[in-house]
Structure formats: structure tokens, C-alpha cells
Structure 1
């Protein structure tokens, strides 16, 4: 047994089991006895304790102290893996954070695909005051007693995706908790297990190779808190991202671009041209009219006149899908010119000019990841190539067969296309670059443009920064921690239950973890559908977000576009949007100070913003109270 103690934190390590426990104050956090440190080589599991040589010694530097372990001499089916690595677990003097570092020394002769270390915490008690926090989209709180089992995680738990808006997870028992931050999230995923009715939730980290190699240090930082709840954990992380330089408020972004255009605006999502190719999974041979249709730019211009003159909507943002000749989700990144059948550049410009005449904002859907084989300049030499030389191939979307464009090429295409749009006199206020903040980062092993996942995210950020430099507010599908410095708004950042069929069992209690950290950094529009037993408008108010006046989904029954909601008149929706937009005007640039379940009731919730605004909602009765 090795014991290290500093101030209120004590670290213990048992050599026989390779398990750690941490005591902070009066709380003890132990790795679960069922956990075994391991990695996957080829398709076989290799346990740390199978190393022929294992040594442990004290680690001490000027900033902290702990335990270093050395592992080498692994064999698989009688063959030497030539694998050696070290782990360092130490307490930082300044913060009392506990750092877990995995350090490669030599690579395995058989590629390592996953490393499961550090371990998951022992967390078994039949109590709803013991809960786990997961950053599945806006945020999820899973009490140990929650009746519904946790399903497969979105994107298999990969960080930097909709499955993990922020690269951390946490747990709270009574009033003691921890925050576990992944410091290389682009090469990591998390896993979580919660059986029906618990009485536990296990969650931990899984490290992934970069370009087929596990050759860099991987680190987790655990912060232990006392007398805390999920608000305190979020605020601790908010302090961390400010220290890391990744925090950037809307007020700071307003110095680069006209952020005010979207503050207090109602959002409209409509399209122009749909063309579903016969080899797309969405093609419906039985309903040909469903596959292809065109709405003219003039039709959309007429709707804008109506919204302003007849409904009196004073501040709108139009997100326009399928505005180019190929049609929605077709032939990217070779998407120009403006759809000829709909009126071409002339009528598209007229639409934009009409909107600006009313003080409205205009933006377009665009795409620089999906690389369609029907694109005019398609060249698979510029696709994201896997280490084994293959490409990702599928035909999920309307445009049919595609792979992924290497992110190194995306900034070139963004500049090319937006320069052409500008030449044709179409003034854009905003632009939506699809999937960048929803899907996982790519890596590319083509020798002309080799990049790892971290570099992929950097190239995606360059696309957002280019738009900002042109005064165009950048958007993407969802929100993620890595994009906060550059992104101004998004398509949505919903609770996970909103992405499932209405009435489906929920896997936990939705809580705004992301907004507790980043509310004053991004503008998030919220769904406004009203169902028989639930009104999504209440979540828009609770989160101080912008409202969707119209949200026409590009595809049925995915991305939160489900039927079954009440049909409201335009006048009713305009009135509802006015309430939400007025609140957004007030609190868009304010920090969300706190969120609570009133008296522990998940149907009664309250948020407080830094200007003193308080929002209370009763989800069961469909009521709300706003106060300052």
C-alpha cells in the first residue's frame, strides 16, 4: 500500500489490485473493485497486471507528489508485445486536484485500440441523492435510483460530439462530489452504465489511438468538492476553461462581429430545393413527390413580407436550407450557384435585401465535411484517409454516396464559396456550417495532408474564424466545448430526450450543464413545440434562449423533427415567441448563475441569471413565472 497526503487530500494505492482511493475531507472515493486496468491490443484484452515487470515508487516534484508505476513485458498468445508504459497519479499542491497520467514508453507490436485507465468509482447506494452528471447534449443527471436503463451513448461516448458537449463527467453523493476533466478529449471517449433502477452508475474514460498509434501522454484531472451540487461542479469547470483560455463571451465576440443581430430574434428554418438521389437511404420509390421539390425564393420573400406586415414580428433570423442548385445535402462542397429553378442569384439577393429592409437577419446552410462523390471537383486524394488506406463510405443523406473531406481542405472551400456568394451581391448575416460541432473530429493519414483529430478541430475553427472576419456570424449543428471561442450560435443544443420520439422513457433528469458554464458565450435557439403533456417553450424560457418560430426539419423523424405536437396558429406562435425573445433580449449575455429542481421536484425548476432575472417553470401544469 502506498499513501500520499497533502492538506485535505489523501491518495492511497494498493499494489495487488492496482486500484486507487482518494479521500478529500470526509468523503472517500474508491475505484470500484470490479474494475481492472486494461487495454485492447488487436481484438484481445491485455490487463496491466499481466506485465512481467511492474514497479511502483514515489513521485515528487516542485508542484505535487504521488505515485509512478512502470509496466513492461507484456505477451499475447506467447508473443512479446514490446509494450512499455508508465502511469503517474499525483496530487497538485496548488489545487489539490488529483492528476492521472498514462505515459507511453514503447509502442505495442500489435496496435492498441483502447485503454481503460483511470478506473470508474465505486458508486453503489440506493439513493436519489447519489447522482451522475453526463454531458449528453445539454446535460443529464442520473440518480442512482433512476428506473430507466441508460442506452448506448451518442457517438459511442466520443468527446467533442453531441455525446459530450463538454469533456467531463462528475458524480455527487449527498453533498460531496468530483469533476473529472479529460484534457485530451479529441482522442478520448467515455463510457457509462446505469441498469434499470440502479442502484449504481459507473462512468469512466476510454483512450483512443491517434492515426493508429497510442504514442502520446493522456491525462485526466479530478477535482474533489465538498458541500456541492451540480451547480458547483459546473462553476468549477467554468473557472477551469477561463484558465485554459477557451472561454469567450458574447460580449467579447461582439467586438469582432454584429452579435446583436441575433439577440432577441425569433428563428425560422426553411428550405428551397430538395433532391433525394435514388441511391440515398432516404429515397422513397413509392412517393416520388416526396423526393424532389422546389420552393422559389420569391415564395420565401412573400413569407417575409407576411411575417413583418401581418404578424408584426420585429426581429427574425432565417436559416435557409437547399438554396443552391444541387439541392439540400447534395454535391458539397461544390454547392454553387444559387438554385436556378428557384430564381437564381437575382431572386436570392432579393430575398436577402427584403429581410435587411425589415431589419431581419439572413443565413444559409452549408457543409464542409460530407464529401459527395457527385461533387464536380471530387477527388478522393483529398478525402480523409484512414491509417489503413480506406475511406469512410456511406449514402445516408439526400446526395447519395459520400465520404469525408479532409479538414485541411475545408477553409479553402469556405473562402472560395463565400467569395462567390459575395460577388453575386447576396449579403449574409450568418452561416451554418453543418455537423462540425455535432460529429466526431476526423483524422487523415494521406501523406499530402496528414492531420490528427486535434488538428481537425483547429481547421474547423479556422472556418468559423474566416466567417467572423467577414462580419458573418458562424453557426453549426450543436455546441461543443472546443468551438466556444469562435462560434456565435447553433442550430440547437437540446436536452437528449428532445431527440427521441415524444413519450419515450427518459434516461435521467435533464439539467442545463452546458448553459451553467457557457450561457453567456453562445446564442441557442430552442424548440417551441407544444405537446399534450409537455410544452417545450418552458425549456426555452428556463434556459434564457431564443425561440424557433418555424422549424422545418430537412428529414422526417430524426434530429428532433417528430410529429404529434399541437398545431398552433401563426398568431399563437408569434405571441409565444415574443415572450421567449423578450427574455432572451434581457439575459442573452448574462451568466446562468444557478439551476434547481424546486423542492427536489423535476417538474418544477428554477434558473437565476446574473442580472437578477429568475425563471420558474412548472412542467406538469405548463406554467411559468418570470421575475427580476
Structure 2
């Protein structure tokens, strides 16, 4: 069972299936919030194990809504569209039309007209510098000084030759979240941090400190339960997660206490606000929308984590999408469903819990970089200050291989995606810019039906001017 929306649920309210003849997509009514029961390739074999028999059932995949019968006024409606000869790409395009109608689609071109700094996201590498915050303040062995931050920014530009970057500094305040102020004097103070921010501006980069207004941590000396939501009996609510325990109606006030002062002190062009928008409760969300609208009113390049469709009008970039702790993609293969709908409406980067420099069930740096080009996702490198030297090679490769695709396709619709081999490793996508990306996510050389060979962990990008860039990621033993 999983949620619709929220940190570990679906990011869009639709699903579908297709065969060689046709496709069908079901879209849940905008006002409905069922839970979702899913079955993936299961034939109930466990029911027959005790008898030592093979299950006679076929392996099937399905997703069923589970409606809350205590909500009689909810419109329990699913609208189905049948698509002759369709597939998952056609389903996504059906839903793309629906989100335009629902008002969730605001293009990056429109956002850039309002704030030209949005263009700095095109081809940018998202560089998260973790100083132990928000978990701890000035954590020994993890905290970085603002002089160190300046050195990392300067090295990224001068030595690594990175064209576009978005620096996200996790650890610049002397208080725990949600009190994101004042700027830490122990790390160098506002003057030194402004020097670092000014350096990002000089290089055409973006910068944000880490902000969160939804979390109160028990190890904070100023831990304050008066910020929590309470039930009619006065008992604390939302205590299951320290990252989402603050009353949503109080989060706007927390942001207003400090963000304007920080913007004035540093001359910020961007803001990333973490966590709050990971959740979309099946109840009053006016507090979260008030916070989103306030952040949007600052006319900064706005980002948040765990992207979901309802926040797209207010944000320019998402750091990661909703995900299950037990990843569904471990069982199946990945398709760029969200980007087929929203690529030209919001810039998507990787999740800091699974950055491109980390090996996980989603692959290693090679596979993630190839998939970034294919899907139109920005590179994410997340590291602590002492790890920076070890990140340099990956940052350079991301800048040389992934970023050029991101720059050319940033304002473009992701038009198509195809699996070209039985093992699903050979894949191809095209963008409305005319850019075509062909990648091989596996360790064996592959060939398209047209005879185009792609080496193991290789790529072939045809840019809109006809230029072809190809190569592969290689193992090397020193």
C-alpha cells in the first residue's frame, strides 16, 4: 500500500498499462485522495509453498485505489482514456494535457521571463555541501568555514572549469532549524558568507543556504513543542517524524522571521526550502500553500525536495522526487514518466539521499549520469568538505558530459523515450529542441536496429545543430 503524493507515494495521480494493441490510463479526480494498493509481477506463489506446488495463477501487475468510505463527499472518480497502439509515453502525454487544464503546468520559459536567474539552472550541477546541518550545529569534523566554502566555489570554477553550478550549503546558521538565523559567527559571519555568495554571482552560479521550517529536533537546546499541531484534546500531533512535526500553519511565520534578513544580508538570488513540500496531507494544506506563495513572492530561483506536481507553479527546481524506501524500480525498469509530463516546467535534480556520487540500487555514477542525459535530469553531487578532492573527477565529468545536454534541452519538452534492447539497457529519448540521446546502461556493447553501436556504459548525443558527441565511461585501475 502506498500514498498518493507525500514523501513515499506517487508524484502524479495516474497509472496505466499497455500491450501491443492499445494502452489505457486512469486519472484520479483532482479532489480525491485514495490510498493505492499495488501488485507487481506476483502470482501468489506463497499460497502454494506449503503444499510444494507451483501457483496456477498468472503473474500480474495492478494498482487499485482504496477509497476512504468515511469521506462521503469525496468524488471517488477515475477517468480512463484508451489509446490505440499507445504506450507509456502516450499515457504521459494524455496526462500532460490534464495538468495544463488543472493549472499545475507553468513552463520554465514563463518562470525565466519573471526571473532571468532561472536560466542559470540550465546545465547546472547541483552541489550540496554537507556540514552536519540540520542534524547538528557546527558539528566537529563536518562543519565548514565560509573561507573553505569560498575555496570550494573558486576551485569549482577555476580548476574544474564548471560552467553552471547551484551550491547548496548545509550549515551556515548558529541555531537549529526551524530558526534559520543568525548566520554563524563561528564559521566566519555574514561578511564572509556574503563574499562566498558574491563569488557564485561572479561565476554565474546560484547559491542557497539550507532552510527548513517543518522540523524541530529533540537535540536542539531550544526544542519547542509549542510549534507542534495539537488535536482537540490538546495532545501533540504529527510526532511520528521529527522532520514534519511543526504545525503547517506556523511555518510561514517561521520563514518570515528570518528569510528577508538573510536575503538583505547576502543578496540572495536563490532559495532552497527543505522538507515542508515533501508532504501533501489529505486535509487542510492552506499553511503549506501560504509558505509556498510567500517563497514564490521573493522572486528568487526557488527549490525544494521531494517534488510533487502541486508545487510546480511555485518552484523552479526539485531536489529529487517522492520515493519508497523499498524502491519499486528494484523490481522493474525505470521510465521518465514525470519528465515526459513536466520536463519543461521544472528542473529536476537527484535526491541528496542518493546523489550521483553514491552507489545504490539506482546505479553508480556512470549509470546515473547516462540516465540524467536520457531523462533530462541535472547532476547532483553531495559531499562533506573533507570529501571535496574525491568529488573533483565526477564533477568534471558531469560538466563535460551531462551539462551540455541540460543546457540545450532545459526549456524543451521530453517528447519520446524508447527501450531498444531486450534487457532494457539500450535506450533513446528525444526532446523538442531536436536533441536525441542514445545510451547503453549496461556492461555489454549494444547495437540499434539501424546498426548504430553503443559501447558499454556509452552514449551518443545528437545536438540540434547536427553535432554528434559520443563516448563511454571506462573502468581504470591505477
Task: State the TM bucket, normalised to the shorter chain.
Answer: 0.7 to 0.9
The structure-2 alpha-carbon separation of the partners of 1:167 and 1:178, relative to structure 1 and needing over 3 Å to count, comes to same
SS in structure 2 of the partner of residue 157 of structure 1: coil
Match of 2:22 among 173, 176, 180: 176
Q: Distance in 1 between matches of 2:26 and 2:232?
A: 31
Indicate yes or no: 2:114 matched with 1:256: yes
Q: Residue 391 in 1 paired to residue 215 in 2?
A: no
Match of 1:467 in 2: 295
Maintained 8 Å contact 1:160/1:481: no
Q: How far off its partner does 1:576 sit?
A: 3.1
Partner of 2:453: none
Q: 2:342 maps to which residue?
A: 518
- The aligned length equals 424
The change in CA–CA distance for 1:320 and 1:500 in structure 2 (over 3 A counts) is: farther
Displacement after TM superposition at 1:596 (Å) = 0.8
Structure 2 vs 1, CA of residues 224 and 377 (structure 1 numbering), >3 Å: closer, same or farther? same
1:545 matched to which residue of 2?
A: 377
- The aligned counterpart of 1:189 is 35
1:316/1:343 CA distance change after superposition, 3 Å? same
Unaligned runs of 5+ in 2: 44-57, 443-455, 464-478
CA distance in structure 1 between the aligned counterparts of 2:39 and 2:240, rounded to whole angstroms: 32
User: How far apart are the structure 1 equivalents of 2:302 and 2:152?
Assistant: 24
- For 1:80, the equivalent position in structure 2 comes to none
How far apart, in 1, do the equivalents of 2:305 and 2:151 lie? 27
For the structure 1 residues 185 and 625, does the alpha-carbon distance in structure 2 shift closer, same or farther, using more than 3 Å as the test? farther
Partner-residue secondary structure (3-state), 1:414:
helix
1:491 equivalent in alignment to 2:319: yes
Deviation at 1:234, TM superposition (A): 0.5
1:270 and 2:270 correspond: no
Shift of 1:310: 1.8
- 1:301 deviates by 0.7
Which has the greater radius of gyration?
1
Instruction: State the match for 1:417 in structure 2.
Output: 258
Distance 1:422 1:202 in 2: 48
Other-structure match for 2:100: 242
* Structure 2 equivalent of residue 341 of structure 1: 186
- Deviation (angstroms), 1:520: 0.5
Distance 1:411 1:624 in 2: 45
- Could you say which structure has the higher strand fraction? 1
Q: Are residues 434 and 208 of structure 1, via their aligned partners in 2, closer, same or farther at CA, if it must alter by over 3 Å?
A: farther
TM-score, with length taken from structure 2: 0.79
Shift of 1:337: 0.8
Structure 1, residues 378-407: CA drift from partner, whole Å, max 9, x if none? 353x5233467533465866xxxx762222
Alignment TM-score, normalising by the size of structure 1: 0.61
The 1:170–1:384 alpha-carbon spacing in structure 2 relative to 1, beyond 3 Å, is farther
Match of 2:272?
432
Deviations 1:191-248 (A, max 9, x none): 1012546611231112348xx8554433222222222101111100001111222211
Higher RCO (C-alpha 8 Å, min separation 6):
2
1:515 alignment partner, SS class: helix
- How far apart are the structure 2 equivalents of 1:552 and 1:277? 16
Pick the aligned partner of 1:407 from 248, 264, 274: 248
Question: For 1:476, which of 291, 301, 304 is the aligned residue?
Answer: 304
Describe the SS at the equivalent of 1:187.
coil
Closer/same/farther in 2, CA of residues 389 and 203 from structure 1, 3 Å limit: farther
Question: Residues of 1 paired with 2:149 and 2:289: CA distance?
Answer: 31
Q: Which stretch has the larger CA shift, 334-343 or 504-513?
A: 504-513
Higher helix proportion: 2
**What's the RMSD between the two structures over aligned residues?**
3.2
